[in-house]
């Protein structure tokens, strides 16, 4: 098995700073977090941005500040979110690709998201992919439901994607596919040949999904975007969530990838200077 790639999603768009004191919602907090999670064993950081008051933003200038802060403190693969927050326009979500991060997410279909709808129609997906091609950004395909893999295959059939790709299964969102080992195994079985994959279990399913991925040869995403707690009633710091998965993987005989090892596994060209 390849060394384990640990992605950390430290902020997300749904958690507010009044739910936890550990949410790194400013660029300088993100920089500090990047250093801590890299030391703990992460190789990718999945980035959302906030204003100083904690509200969501997808402003290009704010992502540039976050990028610079992360890069000043780590060699992590920087993966921008193009999912953003519910209510953002597709153009807003895609705008940050002009900063040419090494990777960015592409959610492969619409999904109920609690009481909201996270909209990713084919026109939205095509527009985001076009920007990824324009700026040379590698997608991570976010799969919240089984049909999303079929959508990704359809995009490939249209010539907009080529497989293999790196895929992240986000399981346990209310409205998406539940986080069970059986569902994970079915999704992995359905992957196009040669894809690499990780899993992000939501809430208390974060650790069980990580354990399954460690055993199955997949990779793992943890972080406060998906789960606030280290254990019942005990709020987590991002680096603790990374450190626990790294420790368990090593105990299980699975080494943990450095950022450059992750780049080699994912076929990324190398740490790019962003263009601005
Ligand atoms: N905040 C969610 C609506 C992504 O980052 O690509 C979408 C999301 C997915 O978080
Ligand atoms: Zn996200």
89 to each of 40, 62, 111, 186, how far by Cα in Å?
35, 17, 16, 32
pLDDT, position 273: 46
Rounded mean pLDDT for each run of 10 residues along the chain, 276 residues in total = 98 97 98 98 98 98 98 98 98 98 98 98 98 98 98 98 98 98 98 98 98 98 98 98 98 98 92 47
Indicate which atom in ligand 1 lies nearest the CA of residue 142.
6
The Cα–Cα gap between 100 and 275 comes to 7
* 85 pocket-lining for ligand 1 (C-beta < 6 Å): yes
Ligand 1 centroid to 85 CA: how many Å?
A: 6
* 142 pocket-lining for ligand 1 (C-beta < 6 Å): yes
- pTM, entire model: 0.97
Element (DSSP H or E) covering residue 190: none
């Amino acid at each position: 098995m390849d060394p384990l790639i640990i992605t950390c999603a430290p902020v997300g768009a749904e958690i507010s700073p009044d739910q936890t004191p550990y949410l790194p919602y400013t660029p300088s907090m993100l920089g500090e977090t990047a250093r801590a999670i890299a030391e703990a064993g992460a190789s990718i950081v999945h980035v959302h941005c906030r204003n100083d008051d904690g509200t969501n933003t997808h402003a290009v200038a704010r992502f540039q500040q976050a990028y610079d802060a992360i890069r000043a403190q780590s060699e992590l693969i920087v993966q921008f979110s193009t999912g953003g927050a519910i209510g953002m326009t597709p153009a807003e979500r895609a705008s940050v690709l002009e900063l040419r991060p090494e990777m960015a997410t592409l959610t492969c279909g619409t999904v109920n998201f609690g009481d909201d709808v996270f909209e990713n129609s084919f026109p939205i997906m095509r527009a985001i992919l076009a920007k990824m091609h324009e700026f040379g950004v590698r997608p991570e395909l976010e799969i919240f439901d089984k049909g999303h893999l079929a959508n990704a295959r359809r995009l490939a059939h249209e010539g907009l994607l080529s497989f293999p790709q790196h895929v992240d299964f986000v399981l346990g969102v209310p409205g998406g596919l539940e986080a069970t080992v059986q569902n994970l195994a079915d999704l992995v079985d359905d992957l196009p040949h040669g894809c690499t994959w990780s899993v992000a279990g939501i809430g208390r399913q974060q650790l069980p999904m990580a354990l399954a991925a460690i055993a199955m040869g997949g990779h793992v995403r943890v972080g406060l975007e998906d789960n606030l707690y280290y254990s019942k009633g005990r709020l987590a710091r991002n680096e603790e969530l990374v450190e626990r998965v790294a420790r368990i993987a090593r105990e299980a005989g699975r080494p943990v990838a450095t950022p450059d090892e992750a780049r080699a596994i994912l076929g990324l060209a190398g740490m790019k200077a962003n263009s601005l």
